[in-house]
Structure 1
C-alpha cells in the first residue's frame, strides 16, 4: 500500500513514516507543507494520503484545503487527516465525497495497532473517525429535527460506532449485544435516514455521511 505523508513537525512526520513502513506500507514521500503534498500526490498517485490540517505558512487549514482538493480531483485516493483539535465542519467537508476518509486526533497515533488498522480501513474505502470526534458529533447530531435527531439512544450509539468504522462484530462486543441485534439496529437506522434497501452506494458510508451532515449546521 503506497502512502504520501504531509506533516510539518519533524518528529511526528518521521514517526508516522516509521510506523507505516514497519507495518508494510510503502512511504513514497514525506513532506512539510501542503504545496509539496499536492505535488507528490500528483507525481506518485498513492493509495492513501496522511496529512495534518494545520501546515505552513499560516498554520491554519492549508493541509485541510489540500486534502479537500485531493478528494475532489482523485476520489480513488483515501485521505486521513490528523489534528490536535476536533472541528465538526472539517469532517463534513472531507466526508462529502463518500468513503475513504479518516479524521484522527494526534494523541491517538501512539496506539500503533489501532492507527494502522484505521489507515488500512480508509485505504479500502471505509471511514475512520476518532472516538472524540464522534463524541462531539453525536452531541450535535442528536439535537434538532433532523432524521438523526429522531433516532433512539441505542441507535445513536450504534451509528456513532459505525462512524468510527467499527464492524458489526466490534459494535456488538462493545455494546454487549448480539450481532443479530446490531444488524437490526443498523436496518432501523437505514430506514430512519431514508436509505433504500436497493441503494447502489455503500449504505454504511451513506449513513455516516447523513450523520455528519446533520451534526454540522449549514454555512451562513
Structure 2
C-alpha cells in the first residue's frame, strides 16, 4: 500500500507544496454544490472536458464528477460522467454491510430494481495508488469510483499526494447504476448507438434522486445501522469479491 503523504511532504525531485490542484479539480476543500433544488457538501467537484458532450444542453452547468457523503445514511456517494456523456450514480458500503462483496447480478431484486435501469455496477474501490493500475498506469482520481479525498492525485508515476480519507474503512464496495438504457439520451453515442439520440437526457437532478434512493435501500438492507439485528436472507448467494477491477 502506498504510504499517505501530507500536502507538505516532499517526494524525490518534486516540490509537493507548490504542486497546486490537478487540472479539472474545482477545490481542495469541501464546497456547496447545487443540485435538484438543494445543495450537497461536495468533497470533490471535477470537470472532465474529454467526457463532456459537445454544444449547449442540460449538461452545460453540470460538473462531471461530484462526490459527497449523504448526511442521512452516512454513505459515500458519487455522480460520474461516463465516456459516452451520460451520468452514473454510485453508493459505497463498508465491510460489515450484509451486501458488501455481492456482484450486481447477485443483489436482491427489490434493491436492484429500485433505481433507474437497475443495478449495473457492484465492485470494490478503485484507487489510483500505483499498486492498482489501469493498463499499467495509475488510475486518475477524476475518473475513479472510490474513497473521496480532498486531494489524491498522481504527482509522478509512483508518487501520490493525498490528504486523509473521508471514510473510516480502507475499502468500500460500490453499488451503482447508469443512464445509458433504451429511452435514455446518450450524448456521445458509439457507432451503432445513433438511435439513442432521441431519448431523454438523465440530468444530475435525476441521478441525484436515484443515488439517494439507492442509499436508502442499502441502509434498509443493513439492520445494524438502526440498532436492529442484522440478518442476511438465506436466499442470497455467497458474496464474490474476486471479480476483475473496473
TM-score norm. by structure 1 comes to: 0.26
Higher relative contact order (CA 8 A, sep 6+): 2
Structure 1 or 2, whichever has the larger Rg, is 2
Structure with the larger strand share: 2
Higher-helix-fraction structure: 1
